[in-house]
Structures are given as structure tokens and as C-alpha cells.
Amino acid sequence: METVSKARSHGGIQGVYRHEAETTRCPMTFAVYLPPQAETEKVPVLWYLSGLTCTHANVMDKGEYRRAAARHGIAIVAPDTSPRGPEVPDEPDNWQFGCGAGFYVDATQAPYDRNYRMWSYVTEELPALVAREFPVDMERQGIFGHSMGGHGALTIALRHPDRFRSCSAFAPIVQPSTAGWSKPALAKYLGEDEAAWRRHDATALIEDGHRFPEFLVDQGTADSFLDDGLRPWLLEEACQKAGIGLTLTMREGYDHSYFFISTFMDDHIAWAAERMRK
């Protein structure tokens, strides 16, 4: 593991790191914020999954999470959204697919199946590396994300309910198998058999019996992707039928940007901290 940069922030350390990933077969970069408490003890870890077109840097530079993370004594890990590099197949003119749009799935279709294995990367390889290299308590984990990353957080939590104590999301894609801006990507990564997509669709997972105790979701009412891509009411309906707790707050006038995310970041970190203390 290579250290790209380190900086002191709110008494802790914001670091950026790079390593050769076996799952994605390319170098992967990720960010880790260690709060000051990590100097003397292992701390809970909260995973943040970013959205379309993003890298680890978007939330690190604009998410404004370090003050709250330091106050609650929580490490924040922000992976990249997809494999990158000259050998990685891409559609440079399509922001909804390829580099920056890995959708946190393990692709099964050539040529994407060689590199686009973000599910295995964020659920297996990177957690093992973080547990080995940083003072984190892997018995106290939470996960959250934005947009495509909110989709990833919901599906990972539903399929690993014993691993995570909290899950929340900013403007998540709750039903990517039918959303206009995610359905084409799932077809390219996973093939045309839509039954295979259900393992990466939060509402379908709930319909199929997967459970998680409760979710926190914030959604802006001025989000231009609300009606076509996000549709939080579908998650609300699925959770109501399954008896899953859902705190869904529609934030009047907020859009899809990091101005929205940073405004409510403290709420999500406090939500995770409360559940990781239990």
C-alpha cells in the first residue's frame, strides 16, 4: 500500500492511499480519515460509497465529514467508484457507464468482467486491507453513500446485515433495475437476464426476503433526477410491506449536489455513531 498524501484535520489524519487491487486488476485509490481517538484505540469504521462520475476525492473535498467524525470518534473510508486505467474498458462519452460508474457490482459480461468487480472490492478486498493497515474495529461498521453509492450501500447492507450496524443514504437509486439511468448499465455489466439484476436492487432484495433493521434516507425535492432515477417512494413502499424501519426526509429545495450532502452529513454520521455504540 502506497501513501499518496496525509494531512492533519480536526485533530485526526486525512490520508489518501493507493494499492494494486487483485479484484479489479488495476491500481485503486481510496481515502481514510482517522479521528484523534485512533491514536490510542481502535475506532468504528463508516464506509462512504460515492455516486456517478465521482472518485474518493469528491466527498473528501466537499463532504465536510471530518468535524463530525472526530467528535464521534469514527473512521471514514471512501473507496473509488470503479476501476481505472488505460487497460480498463470504458465508454468515455457515457457518464452513466464505465469508469466512474461501476455501480458496485461484479460484472459477468465481457469485456467488463475482468476489471469491473467493485462488489468484491468494497465488500472483501478493501475491508481486509483496511483492517490490516489501520486501527479500526471491524465489529463496529456502518455504511452510507450518495446516489449510485446510496444504491451500493443499501444493497450491501441488505446482503450483509450481520456486518453493519447502520446504513443510510443521500438520494439513492433505490430501484436501479427499472431506472432510466441505471438499467442500461446493469444490462452491460450483468447481461440481459433481469433476474440476475435483483441481487443489486434494494427494492427487489427486500421483496426477495432480505432484511436490515432500519434505514435513514435524505432526498432533495429539487433534485433533477428524482422522478426518473431515484424514486425514494419505491423504497418506502418496500420497507412498509416488509416491516423495515425507514426514516425518509424530503428536504425542500435541495438538489443532488454536495451542497445538499454536506448540509446533512452530520446527521448521518450521528445516526451511524449512535448505532455503532450499541
Residue 202 to residues 78, 118, 218, 268, Cα–Cα distance (Å): 21, 17, 16, 19
Active site residue 256: yes
Catalytic pick from 50, 80, 90, 147? 147
Contacts of 176 (CB under 8 A, 6+ apart): 103, 151, 182, 183, 185, 186, 197, 200, 201
User: Pick the catalytic residue: 50, 166, 223, 268?
Assistant: 223
Count the neighbouring beta carbons within 10 Å of the beta carbon of residue 129: 18
Handedness of CA 154, 159, 161, 165 (dihedral sign): negative
Q: In the numeric block, which cell numbers belong to residue 74? A: 469514527
Q: In the 8-state DSSP scheme, what is residue 123? A: I
- Number of helices and strands in the chain (H, E): 9, 9
DSSP state of 64: -
Helices marked H in 104-257: 118-120, 126-133, 148-159, 183-190, 202-207, 232-242
Measured distance CA(13)–CA(151) in Å, rounded: 28
Instruction: Give strand pairing partners of 13.
Output: 8, 34
- Catalytic residue, chosen from 72, 200, 256, 268, is 256
Residues labelled catalytic: 147, 223, 256
